[in-house]
Amino acid sequence: MRKGAEYEVFVQTLQQAILDSEPLFKQKNIQVERNKKLQDSRGILREFDLYWEYDLAGYVYKNVIECKNYASNISIEKIDAFIGKLLDFPDLKPIFATKMGYQKGAKEKAIKHKIDLLIVREQDSTKDWTDKDGTPLLREIHIGINMNCPPRILDFRPTLDRQWFEANDSINVSELSFLSGLTNEIIIEDIDKNETYSLHELTCKATNLPFGKSTKRMDFAEGYLITKFNKMKMTSCEIDFIQSEPFKMSNVIDFSKELIGVIEYLNGGKKKAILRSGVVKDR
């Protein structure tokens, strides 16, 4: 596609988004057409870059945009050519669009002939991200997430109280299955500290462990190991932990990637920014 045609499509996209954002126009399902051929008063077909029409209160309003993808300001000769083309179309609302700007004489003549002047361009990383007072607008959000994972228990080795077992001779030590169960089913009861917690809860309480593998020893003045099968007194236990390093994730939300183009209305001193989502914002 030639550059001129690419620019026409670009202007068409932005203008369509603006029409779609207006409740009144959205209800009428107005479509911006490219390369529209209109018949002049002498019966000759003339082509316009962009065209759309709508009816309001019994009147049909017709609009055309002349698009020029020039790397320099529009000269008065280009405005003259557009005026000449419009002579046989008194019912058209003329609009001129370019990406750079207009020479002084061109701007004055366009205003005199009631031609709306637009600068339709891609975003400018400097002037489109500051407000009227020059205050920078939010352009990027940098998000950093550090997720600390709880340690995992690799091995649990309780030391049972021999004297307690001798006093409770009804328990057959050889038949004990005290480690049979999930970590939330194996309970430690510390009578001296008035605490009761499962191995699962213990992993959540374990803090300041080094990264990698480590062993923690716990001694009990009066402690019990409780499973769904038994309750046994123990004097201490050793627990092997493994602590993973924090999970780190970063993300950048770049709002500039959502901004596809800007339209400056030179006659009215306004500016609109059009986002990929179709949202139109006044700037």
- How much of the chain exceeds pLDDT 90, in percent? 64
- Return the residue matching tokens 């939010």: 138
Range list for CATH 3.40.1350.10 in the chain: 3-139+254-282
- For domain 3-139+254-282, the CATH architecture is 3-Layer(aba) Sandwich (3.40)
Q: Two tokens at 168?
A: 């409770």
Residues 139-195 have pLDDT tens digits of 889 999 999 888 999 999 999 998 998 888 766 666 565 556 788 999 999 999 999
Query: What does the pLDDT read at residue 180?
Result: 64
Residues 10-50 have pLDDT tens digits of 999 999 999 999 887 776 789 999 999 999 888 889 999 99
Q: Two tokens at 274?
A: 């059009």
Q: 3-state SS of the chain?
A: CCHHHHHHHHHHHHHHHHHHHCHHHHHCCCCCEEEEEEECCCCCEEEEEEEEEEEECCEEEEEEEEEECCCCCECHHHHHHHHHHHCCCCCEEEEEEECCCECHHHHHHHHHCCCEEEEEECCCCCHHHECCCCCECCCEEEEEEEECCCCEEEEEEEEECHHHHHHCCCCCHHHCCCCCCCCCCCEEEECCCCEEEEHHHHHHHCCCCCCEEEEEEEEEEEEEEECCCCEEEEEEEEEEEEECCCEEEEEEEEHHHHEEEEEEECCCCEEEEEECCCCEEEC
Which of 51-60, 210-219, 269-278 shows the highest mean pLDDT? Answer: 210-219
Query: What does the pLDDT read at residue 89?
Result: 93
What is the average per-residue pLDDT within 132-142?
Answer: 86
Query: What does the pLDDT read at residue 51?
Result: 98
95 pLDDT above the threshold of 90:
yes
- The residue that leads in pLDDT, 255 or 187, is 187
Query: What does the pLDDT read at residue 1?
Result: 63
Question: What's this model's pTM, rounded to 2 decimal places?
Answer: 0.66
Query: What does the pLDDT read at residue 179?
Result: 59
Query: What does the pLDDT read at residue 279?
Result: 86
- How much of the chain exceeds pLDDT 70, in percent? 95
In angstroms, the Cα distances linking 202 to 107, 187, 188, 205, 241 are 77, 10, 9, 5, 11
Residues 204-245 have pLDDT tens digits of 888 889 999 999 999 999 999 998 878 899 999 999 999 999
